[in-house]
Amino acid sequence: MTPTIDAHVRLDSHPTHPSAVTAVLTGTQAHVAHLGLEAADWTVVADNVLVLVRIDHEEPYWAQDAAKHLSAEGIAVEITPRLREAIDEEWTWANYPMPWCTRSEIREVSNEAQKIHDGIRHGQLLVHAHAHDGHTTVAVGTYLGHNGKSVYLHGEDHLRQVADTFDSPAQALLAFEKVHGAEMRPGPAPLTDTERAAAEARTPLDLPAAKPEPARQEPETVPAYLADTGDHDALLDTFLDAHGGWEKWRTWSDETTHAIHESQTLRIERVHETPAHETAWTVAAYESPVSDRMWVLTATGATSAPVIEKLLNHLADGDGWDTAIGAPGDEKMVTAATQPLSDAGWKHTVDGRWIRWASPTGDAGVQFDAFTAQQPSQNQATWTVWAGPDPDRPTWTITASPYTPSWLLADLSETLAHETGLRRPQTAGPERRTTLFTSPPAAPAVTAGPAASRSH
């Protein structure tokens, strides 16, 4: 057909990603071809440059299909020799789990899997939960929009299929939980290698010249209380990996992780993504699994990594947190808790009900409230540890109730007075890692109808 639209499309193999195809558009009416390719799920990667990327590696076939449609609309299309070679190449999937399918039928199966992938990628299919059934990944989700159906998904990449449908998200989740409750995790599964490669192929091709990075300043050694916050989630993961006597689970909302000692008398609550000045850690001890709290300690989100690490190490030792504690305002107890500060020359002052210790440079301190220590409540903040410009504008704080063990407080004092950590100049906030843990599901479930197991 003779071109009737002033647009030219040059189709070529992607320069760095096998099977992906690029389209370079020219002409005064290039926008016409642009709209047609975008409607066929080609991705814009530069001015008048689009890329077709699929998880089934069938880009050459669908590029030829796009060329036919563009030509039918009167647009000139050029296919480079190397792309023509890929289009004409005969190939098949090795160890394909449905060997009875013809090449055309295999392409139909993978195209349906592509539609599911695109629905998730474009936010049209919301995945509620996923699991591994022993052979492959399974998931449950809902198509958004009017009368969106809920679906049970089976398989990965070019083998993913809709194995069952449900009338509502609640019905779908209950059915999924019944079959996969032990392995069930919230949200979509991590990207497969194929999905990650596809995402990389959609990145811009014509990147601006990289600006030289400024010379990196080496981290400096500072007192532990001035060290970087680090990754609190990683500290907790390391602690729990090293100590098998703790059970860990994460709330369904994925906002909080709970760690409970096997004795059921010591519990840690870690709230993720917490603002720097809000409580991110709560440690509580109990005389028995069903008793009231003996004591409670909290720490804010910006607390330095060495201080949090020291606290966790003390809890791992189990030294004293399950031991009966004497009178909270006892002079010997206060002295034992703060002796490392006195030995290090921290300034000691008494102001009415307040007993304070301040670092020699005035950028950290410990405060004991003698009045609160005598009150009947076991949850009030009697001890306050802080670091920062001044007590009224702290970078981070730790609070502890009256019966917090002096051993634990002495360990923290030792860390403040003598230990060091690293601080990187102009440090950005810590990168948050997400590791999904859930408590055992408790809702009743109904039976789902999963498809037969398949692998690829």
Model pLDDT for residues 56-98, shown as the tens digit of each residue: 999 999 999 999 999 999 999 999 999 999 998 877 777 788 8
pLDDT, position 395:
94
The mean pLDDT of the chain is 84
pLDDT at 285 over 70: yes
Nearest to 148 by CA among 177, 113, 172, 178: 172
pLDDT at 432 over 70: no
The pLDDT tens digits of the residues spanning 19-49 come to 999 999 999 999 999 999 999 999 999 889 9
pLDDT, position 376:
67
pLDDT at 138 over 90: yes
- Torsion angle, CA of 53/59/63/66, rounded to 10 degrees? -70
Angle between helices 406-418 and 331-343 (to 10 degrees): 10
pLDDT, position 425:
74
- Residue 376: alpha-carbon gap to chain centroid: 41
* Amino acid present at 107: R
pLDDT at 327 over 80: no
**20 burial via Cβ count (<10 Å: 0-12, 13-18, 19+):** buried
41-45, 225-229, 409-413, 448-452: range with lowest mean pLDDT: 448-452
Q: Per-residue pLDDT averaged across 218-222, rounded?
A: 88
**Residue, of 444 and 386, whose pLDDT is higher:** 386
Q: Per-residue pLDDT averaged across 294-318, rounded?
A: 90
154-158, 301-305, 451-455: range with lowest mean pLDDT: 451-455
pLDDT, position 290:
84
pLDDT at 50 over 70: yes
130: pLDDT confidence band, cut at 50, 70 and 90? very high
pLDDT, position 434:
29
**Residue, of 372 and 213, whose pLDDT is higher:** 372
Q: Read off the pTM.
A: 0.49
**Residue, of 431 and 25, whose pLDDT is higher:** 25
84-88, 89-93, 172-176, 219-223: range with lowest mean pLDDT: 89-93
Contact 126, 82 (CB under 8 A): no
The half-sphere exposure of 344 on its side-chain side, counting CA atoms within 13 A, is 21
pLDDT, position 450:
34
Give CA–CA dist 26/33, Å, rounded. Answer: 9
452: pLDDT confidence band, cut at 50, 70 and 90? very low
Say what percent of the chain tops pLDDT 90.
58
125: pLDDT confidence band, cut at 50, 70 and 90? very high
E strand or H helix at 193: helix 193-201
pLDDT at 323 over 50: no
64-68, 213-217, 426-430: range with lowest mean pLDDT: 426-430
